Chain A
Amino acid sequence: MDRIPILRMGAFLLVTIQVDLYDRLALTLESDLVQMVNKTGAKGVLIDISAVSIVDSFMGRIIGNIASMSRILDAATVVVGMQPAVAITLIELGLPLKGVHTALDMEKGMNLLKSMIHIPQEDDDQDLTTDDSIAE
C-alpha cells in the first residue's frame, strides 16, 4: 500500500506530500503521524503541501484532525506551502482550517515551530545552568 514518508529531524517530524492524495492515503498518514508523535515524543509536526494542487473537504478535515490530535499529544502542527488557489478553494468550500497553524514556506514554518516550543526549552536550559552552578 502507498504511504507518505515521515522524516524525523530532532524534535520535529517532517512530512512532504508529493503525490495526489486520495482518502485512504490521507487516513493512513493521519494514523502514521499520530503514532510517530507518540513514539518519538516529537514536539512539532511540519507538513509541506506545496506540491498538493487539491485539498477538498475530506483532506481539509484530515489536516485539521492531525493538528488537533498532535496538540493532545503535546506537539504543535504547522502546515506550510499552501498554494493560493488551494486557499481560495478551501474558503469558498467553507473550510477555514481553524486551529491549524500555517506558514508560507518551510523555513518560516520551521521558525514558527521553534518559536512555539521555544519557551519550555529555554526553561530547561536555565534549570540546568542553575543546577550546574549549585553543583559547582
Chain B
Amino acid sequence: MTTKTSLLMILSLSKDNIQIVREQDSVFLKNRVKEVAVKIKMGLVNQTRLITAASELVRNMLRYANGGNCLIEIVSSGKINGVRLTFSDKGPGIPDITAAMRDGFSTGKSLGLGLPGTKRLVNEFEIKSKVGEGTQVTILKWANG
C-alpha cells in the first residue's frame, strides 16, 4: 500500500475541512474536490477518478458511521502536486480490513466494490480502523499520476 517515507516527504500546501452529516453534503464535497483538482491542473480523467473515489468513501462514511469528516489537502512532493483526502469517522470500525478490501465483499447491501474499487482509482490508499472507535481512510491522487 503506502510507504511511510513517501508520505513524510509530502508537503501540505492547503487544508480544508468539510463536515459530512447528510447525503447532500456529498455533492458539496465533490464540488470542493473538483475545485481543488482544477486548481492544481489535474487532468479530466484523473479528476473523475478522484471524485469517484471520494464519492465511494463518503457513501461508506454516511452508511456505516452516520457521517464524519473530510480533510481536503493540496500536497506537493516537490516536483508534482496532488490532492489528498482524509476521511475520518467515529463509526463502528471495520473488524476485518483484509476482507473489506476484497472485491465483492460487503456487509451492507452493496456490490462490495467501494473500497477495492477506490484503491484502484487513486495513487495512494491507506486505511486504519479500530473496532468501536472509527475508521480513517486516506487517498492521494497526483495531478498527472
Interface residues of A (CB under 8 A from B): 20, 22-24, 53-58, 61, 83-86, 88-89, 92-95
Contact = CB atoms under 8 A, between A and B. Distances in A.
B110 interface: yes
Interface of B: 23-24, 26-27, 30-31, 34, 44-45, 47-49, 51-52, 55-56, 59, 103, 110-111, 113-114, 116-118, 120-121
B24 A22 contact: yes
Residue from A56, A57, A61, A85 with most neighbouring chain B CB atoms (10 Å): A56
B117 A94 contact: yes
Contacts of B45: 84-85, 88-89
- Pick the 10 closest A-B CB pairs, nearest first: A85-B48, A93-B117, A56-B55, A57-B113, A85-B45, A89-B52, A94-B113, A56-B52, A89-B48, A94-B117
Given A22-B24, A24-B23, A94 B56 contact: no
A57 B56 contact: yes
A121 B39 CA distance: 53
Contacts of B121: 89, 92-93
Contacts of A89: 45, 48-49, 52, 121
A95 B55 contact: no
A53 B37 CA distance: 14
Nearest to B46: A85
Contacts of A56: 52, 55-56, 59
A54 B51 contact: yes
A61 B117 CA distance: 14
B103 to A, nearest CB: 6
Contact of A93 (B27, B30, B47, B52): B52
Given A54-B30, A85-B45, A22 B23 contact: yes
A58 B30 CA distance: 15
A56 B44 CA distance: 16
Given A23-B23, A85-B47, A89-B52, A57 B114 contact: yes
B110 A57 contact: yes
A93 B121 CA distance: 7
15 contacts: A22-B26, A53-B51, A54-B30, A56-B52, A56-B56, A58-B110, A84-B45, A85-B44, A85-B45, A85-B49, A88-B49, A92-B49, A94-B116, A94-B120, A95-B117
